[in-house]
Copies of this chain bind each other. A is one copy, B any other.
Amino acid sequence: MAPPPATVVSPVITLLLRLLTFIFLMISLVILTTNTATLFVNLAEVKLRFNDVYAYRYMVAVIVLGIAYTLLQTAFAIFQVSMGKRLGGDGLYQFDFYGDKVMSYILATGAAAGFGATIDLKSVFSGGGVDQFFNKASAASSLLLLGFLSTAISSVFSSLALPKRD
Contact, CB under 8 Å: A152 / B116? no
Contact, CB under 8 Å: B124 / A156? no
Find chain B residues with CB under 8 A from A4 CB.
166
**Which of the residues B55, B148, B166 comes within 8 Å of A116, measured between beta carbons?**
B55
- Residue among A55, A104, A112, A123 facing the most chain B CB atoms (10 A cut-off): A112
A interface residues, how many (CB within 8 angstroms): 35
- How distant is the Cα of A166 from the Cα of B162 in the complex, in angstroms? 13
A114 within 8 A of B: yes
**Which of the residues B97, B115, B166 comes within 8 Å of A113, measured between beta carbons?**
B115
Q: How many copies of the polypeptide does the oligomer hold? A: 2
CB neighbors of B among A131-157 (8 A): 148, 152, 155-156
- How distant is the Cα of A101 from the Cα of B157 in the complex, in angstroms? 12
**Which of the residues B54, B111, B123, B159 comes within 8 Å of A54, measured between beta carbons?**
B123
A108 within 8 A of B: yes
A66 within 8 A of B: no
- How distant is the Cα of A97 from the Cα of B162 in the complex, in angstroms? 13
A112/B108 contact (C-beta < 8 A), A156-B101, A164-B166 known: yes
Q: Measuring CB to CB, which residues of chain A are less than 8 angstroms from any residue of chain B?
A: 4, 53-55, 58, 97-98, 101, 104-105, 108-117, 119-121, 123-124, 148, 152, 155-156, 159-160, 162, 164-166
- In the complex, besides A97-B159, A109-B111, A160-B162, 9 extra interface pairs with C-beta distance below 8 angstroms are A55-B119, A101-B156, A101-B159, A109-B109, A109-B112, A112-B116, A117-B120, A120-B120, A162-B162
